[in-house]
Amino acid sequence: MIVVLNFGGQFAHLIARRVRDLGVKAEILHGDASLSEIQALNPKGIILSGSGHSVLENGPLPDKGIFELGIPVLGICYGLQLMAHMLGGIVAGGYVKEYGKENLDIIKKDKLFTALESKEIVWFSHGDQATKLPTGFVKTASSKSCELSGFADEKRGFYGIQFHPEVTHTVHGTNILSNFVFDIVHAEKNWKLSDVSAGIIKDLKTKIGTDHVVVGISGGVDSLVAATLLHQAIGDQLHAVFVDHGLLRKGEVES
C-alpha cells in the first residue's frame, strides 16, 4: 500500500493511478491527514504530491510524524519543497520559474534513478525551489534553472524531485515511480482493476438482492462507471435515467 498525500496538485490523482498501474494498491488522503489516519492504512511508503501553494506563504503541510514512521517518503515538486522546509533545508522564491519540458542532469545514480541516463527529459511546473539541503541529504539532480532538482537521504529512505514523474512528458517517469515502489519501498503487486470490479459487483449483488435501483447518468465518467457496475450486478433491475444538465459537449446528448 502506498499513501499519496494530496496537497491540491493537479496531478495528485494521476500519481495514484500510476502506482496502481504498476499493480500496487494506492490510496489518496488529504495533505493534512492525521498521523493516525495514515497509519490506519498501514502504508509501506508515502508520496507527497505537488501543489499550487507555497511553503513560503503558509501552504499546507503534512503531519511531521510521517518522517518518523521509518518508511520511505517521495516528495514530488511541492512535496520536495515541503520536505526541505520541514527537515531543516531552505526554500526560496523569486527564481526563474520552470514550466514544461526541461533537461535534467542526474548527478547521483541513487536507487530512485537506477537505470536512467545521465541526462533525462522531464516535466517541470514550479516557481519556488529548495536552495539548501536538509541535514543528511545529498543532491542527486539539477537543471539549468534549478540547482536542487533532486535530493535524497537514502539512509532514511527520503527522496525529493522537483519535476513530475507521473506525467507522460517525463520520458522515464514510470521507471522512477517503479524504482520507488519496488526497489525502495519493496511493495508487493497486490492490486488489479479486474479484482476490484469483481469485488464491487459481488458486494452490490449482496446488498441489493431483488430490489430495483434508479441511477442518474450525467454523461461523466463517475456516473457511467457506477451505472455499468450496477448493470453487471443486477441487470434489468437497474433503471437508468439520462440527465441533460446543459453542460455536455456538442452532439453528446444524441449519441
Catalytic residue among 53, 77, 98, 146: 77
Give me the residue label for grid cell 507555497: 54
Residue 22 backbone zone (phi > 0: left; psi -120 to 50: alpha; other: beta): alpha
Catalytic residue among 53, 126, 164, 172: 164
Q: Is 146 a catalytic residue?
A: no
DSSP at 216: E
* Assigned C-alpha cell, 137: 541529504
Q: Is 164 a catalytic residue?
A: yes
* Assigned C-alpha cell, 66: 510521517
Q: Is 77 a catalytic residue?
A: yes
Side-by-side strand order, sheet with 98-106? 26-30, 2-6, 45-48, 73-76, 158-161, 150-153, 138-142, 98-106, 119-126
**SS3 per-residue string spanning 136-175:** CCEEEEECCCCCCCEEEECCCCEEEECCCCCCCCCCCHHH
Catalytic residue among 98, 102, 120, 166: 166
Measured between its terminal Cα atoms, the distance across the chain in Å is: 40
Half-sphere exposure of 29 (CA within 13 A, CB side): 24
Question: Which candidate, 114, 150, 116, places its Cα nearest to that of 133?
Answer: 150
Rounded Cα distance between 223 and 93, Å, is 42
* Assigned C-alpha cell, 254: 444524441
DSSP at 249: P
Q: Are strands 138-142 and 150-153 parallel, antiparallel or unpaired?
A: antiparallel
Catalytic residues: 77, 164, 166
